[in-house]
Chain A
Amino acid sequence: MSSEVNTDFLHDKRLDAIAADLLRPVGISKGFLIWMGFLTISLMGCIYAYYIQWDKGLIVTGLRDYVSWGMYIANFIFFVATSLVGMLISSVLGLIGFKWVKPIARIAEIIAVAFAAVAGLVIVSDMGRPERLPYVFMYGRIQSPILWDVTVVTTYMVLSALLYFIPLIPDLAISKGRMGHQPKWLQATYEFLSVNWNHSSYQYKILLKAVRILLILIIPTAFAIHTVTSWLLAVTLRPGWDSSIFGPYFLTGAFVAGSAAVVIMMYFVRTNYKLDKYLTVYHFDMMGKLLVLVSIVYLYFNINEFLVPAYKLKTADAIHLHELFVGEHAMLFWSVQLLGLILPIILLLFKFFRKPFPMLVISIVVLVAAWFKRYIIVVPTQENPFLPKQFVPHAWMVYQPTVIETAITMGTILLAVIIITILFKLFPVIPIWEMAEEECSGEKDKHQE
C-alpha cells in the first residue's frame, strides 16, 4: 500500500466505468435469494443435528474414551488455518508492495473474517456442555493454551474485520450515489457505514495510517493464532503431536489451505460476477506461483515432521507412523500428501495449470485435502495412546464419525459460506477506489492486460 493516495481518480471518467463494473454484482438478486435459500434450508438440517447433540450429548458422535477430539477439532484447525490467508495476502504481500494483490486482498479478508468467526463456533460444537462456555472466561487458566487460543482467535477476528471494513469505507462513499436502484435499507447501511467519508486527503491519510497499523499488527497475531492452535496438540506428550516444529508446520499448512480457498473464490468472482477484467489470467498465474511456493515450504516441514521420527522410530512413534504409512490410515494419509501437496506442486510449475480453470480444480483438491490433513493430524494419534486402558470395548478405541457429527461439521462450513455470500453480495468485492487510483495514475502492473 502506497503512503499517499493520489485522489485525481475522483474526477476521472474512468472511475464511473470501474464503479459500474464492480457494483453490478452488488444487491439482492434472484440468484442470490435462491442460493441463500438453499444454504439456509441446508443449514436448518445441520442445526437440527446440533439440536440432537445438544439434547443427547456427545454420545451421538463417534467420540469416545480414546478419541475425544475427532472431526470437530480437525475442522476447527482447518477453519483457523484457512482464515490465515487474510494476513498472508494483505499484509505480507501487500506490505512488500506487490500490486497484483490489490483486487484479491478483500476476498482474502472476507475469507479471514468468515472462517475466524465460525472457528469459535466450531469449538463449541465439540463441547458436551456448551452452556458452560462462560466458564472458559470465569475459570480459565492463563497457563492453558486454550485460553491463549480464545484470546488470539478473538483478536484476529477483530483485526480481520477492521482490515476488511476500513479500506471499504471509500468504496461505500463512492457507491452511495450510485445505488438508486437498490433497496432503501441497503442504501441506509452504506450511508451509515461510510462514516461521513468525503475523500479529503486528510481522511485518506488517517485511513492509510490505520490500515498500516492493522497490516503490521495482524502479522504477529496471525502467527500467534495458528501457533497457539498447534500448541493445543504439541504441548502434550503424544506421538505425532509431541513435536517442536508444530507451530511452523501448522502455519505453512495454513497458507496452502488459505491460498487454495482464495483461488476458488477468485474463480467464482471472475466468472459469476463477470469481473475477468479485474481478476485476470495474470492474477491466477501469480496465485498459482504463490500456491507452489507455500506448498513447497509446507512440503519441507512435512518431510521434517515425518522423516525425523521415522528415522528414530521411538516405540510409540513407530506405532503411530506405522498406522499412517501402511496401517489403518495409510489410504487417507497418502491421498492427502500426494493429491493435496505433491501433485499440485508438480502441476503448478507449468504455466498451463496456472490458468483459471485448472487452478480452480487444483485448489478444490488442495482445500479438501487440507481438511483431511487436519483429520490425519488429530485422530490417529489418539487411537494409540501411551497408556492404553484395559478392556476397553473396541468401538471406543477407533473413531468412526457419525452422521450427526458430519452434519454439524457441514453446518459450520455452510455458515462460513453464508457469511462469505452475504459479504460478497452486499458490498463490492474488489476495491473500487484502489482499482480506479491504479488505473488513473497509470500505475498498473505492466504485465497486466
Chain B
Amino acid sequence: MKKRYLSLLLIVLISFRLSAQEWVVPAENGAKLSPFAFSDSTRKAGAVLFQTNCKSCHGDPGKNNAIALVPPPPDPASAKMQGNSDGALFFKLVSGKGPMPSFKNTISSTDLWRVISYIRSFNEKYVQQIAPKSGIAGAAENVKVLLTWSKETNQVQAVISAMKEKRIQPIAGAEVKLFAKRYFGNLLIDEARNTDAQGKAIFNFPKDLPGDSAGFVQLSARLTDDAAFGEAKADTTLAVGVPTYRPPLNEQRAMWNVVQKTPIWLLLAYIFTVLAVWSFIFYVLLQIRAIYKAGINKNQDTIDS
C-alpha cells in the first residue's frame, strides 16, 4: 500500500516537473509574423474569439482571474504572456501544452492572428511587425477553392486556382487540408495533400463518417500557408456521410425531462393518488357541513345551552 502511494507521489511530482518545464519555441516559429496588420476590426474579432475559446481558462485580460490549473494559465495582459514574440504566441496556440489545448484544427490561422491582435491590445509598448508578402504576390485575395465529391471513388477533390498575371491559373504545390465539422472542432480528413499541376488535391473520404439525418457533412478545405494565400478556404455541405439520426436527449418522456414529458405511468399515479386522497378529504368536509345542517333544526335540545 505504502509503495503504491510512493509511486503515485513520484508520478505526480514528475508530471508536475514536466508541466512546469519551460515552453520552448523553435527559433523559426518564434520569428513568424502576422500576414496582416492588426487593426480595430481584427482586435474586435479577436475579442469575440477570446471570449468563446480562451476566457474560460485565462479569465479577463488584466483581471488576473484565470482558473486554478497547474501550471496556471497566465493572464493575457501579464508580462509572461506579452513577453512572447508574435510567432511564439502563434506557435503556442497551435501546439498547446498540458491543459492548454491546441487550436490547430479548431481555429483558422487567420483567426488565431486576430486573437493575438486582441491579446496585444493589452500591451501599450507593442509595435507590430508585418510579414513581407510572399508566394504569389498580389494574388492572395483571389484564391479560389472548389470542392467536389466523386461518389464512385468516394473521394473529395479540391481544386485551387488564383488570379495570376491577369489570368485564372491553377496553383500547384500548395498544401491543402480537408476538415469535417464535428460538434467540437474540426476533424482532419485523410491527410494534408499538395496540389498537383492542375491545382488538384484528392482526399480519400472514410466510408463510415456519421453525417446528419440526411447524411450531410460540412466540409471545409483550407490552404495551410495562409501567409501566402490569405484566408483561402471553401466550405461546402456534401451528402458524404452516413445518415444518422440521434434523437435529442429530451425527445422522449423521461424521469429527467420537463414536466410536459413526464412518464405516463408517473403522471397517472400522481394524479390518481392526489385525486383519491383529496376526494376523501372533500367528503369529510361535506360531513362537517352535514353536522352543521343536522344541528339547525334540533338546536333547541342542545343539553347545555
A206 touches B304 (CB 8 A): no
Q: Which of A166-205 contact B (CB under 8 A)?
A: 166, 169, 173-174, 176-178, 195-200, 202-203
The verdict on B294 contacting chain A, using a C-beta distance below 8 Å, is: yes
Proximity bits, B252-291, A CB within 8 Å = 1, else 0? 0001111100110011001000100110110111011011
- Cα A200 to Cα B304 with chains together (Å): 13
Knowing A143-B257, A391-B68, the reply to whether A173 touches B302 (Cβ < 8 A) is yes
The verdict on B5 contacting chain A, using a C-beta distance below 8 Å, is: no
Look across to chain B and name the residue whose beta carbon is closest to the beta carbon of A200: B298
Proximity bits, A39-56, B CB within 8 Å = 1, else 0? 000000000000000000
- Cα A199 to Cα B298 with chains together (Å): 10
B305 touches A176 (CB 8 A): yes
> What is the number of residues of chain A that contact chain B, defined by CB distance less than 8 Å?
38
A143 touches B255 (CB 8 A): yes
The verdict on A11 contacting chain B, using a C-beta distance below 8 Å, is: yes
Q: List chain A residues, Cβ under 8 A from B257.
A: 143
B304 touches A203 (CB 8 A): no
The verdict on A210 contacting chain B, using a C-beta distance below 8 Å, is: yes
- Cα A139 to Cα B262 with chains together (Å): 13
B258 touches A141 (CB 8 A): yes
Knowing A151-B274, A203-B294, A213-B280, the reply to whether A11 touches B259 (Cβ < 8 A) is no
Q: List chain B residues, Cβ under 8 A from A148.
A: 270
B259 touches A141 (CB 8 A): yes
- Cα A159 to Cα B283 with chains together (Å): 12
The verdict on A158 contacting chain B, using a C-beta distance below 8 Å, is: yes
A213 touches B299 (CB 8 A): no
Knowing A143-B266, A197-B291, the reply to whether A176 touches B277 (Cβ < 8 A) is no
Q: List chain B residues, Cβ under 8 A from A390.
A: 68
B295 touches A196 (CB 8 A): yes
- Cα A158 to Cα B304 with chains together (Å): 30
Q: Nearest Cβ in chain B — how far from A294, in angstroms? A: 25
Look across to chain A and name the residue whose beta carbon is closest to the beta carbon of B281: A158
Q: List chain B residues, Cβ under 8 A from A173.
A: 302, 304
A210 touches B296 (CB 8 A): no
Q: Nearest Cβ in chain B — how far from A167, in angstroms? A: 12
B259 touches A139 (CB 8 A): yes
A143's partner among B256, B298, B299 (CB-CB below 8 A) is: B256
- Cα A169 to Cα B289 with chains together (Å): 12
Q: Nearest Cβ in chain B — how far from A217, in angstroms? A: 5
A206 touches B255 (CB 8 A): no
Q: Which of A201-228 contact B (CB under 8 A)?
A: 202-203, 206-207, 209-210, 213-214, 217, 221
The verdict on B301 contacting chain A, using a C-beta distance below 8 Å, is: yes
The verdict on B303 contacting chain A, using a C-beta distance below 8 Å, is: yes
A195 touches B292 (CB 8 A): yes
B284 touches A210 (CB 8 A): yes
Knowing A10-B303, A143-B266, A203-B295, the reply to whether A162 touches B284 (Cβ < 8 A) is yes
Knowing A173-B302, A196-B299, the reply to whether A166 touches B68 (Cβ < 8 A) is no
Knowing A176-B305, A196-B292, A200-B294, the reply to whether A209 touches B262 (Cβ < 8 A) is no
The verdict on A308 contacting chain B, using a C-beta distance below 8 Å, is: no
- Cα A385 to Cα B278 with chains together (Å): 40
Interchain Cβ contacts under 8 Å between A and B, 13 examples: A143-B256, A162-B281, A166-B284, A198-B299, A199-B303, A200-B294, A203-B291, A203-B294, A206-B287, A206-B294, A209-B287, A210-B288, A213-B283
A-B pairs with the 4 shortest C-beta distances?
Answer: A196-B295, A177-B304, A391-B68, A210-B287
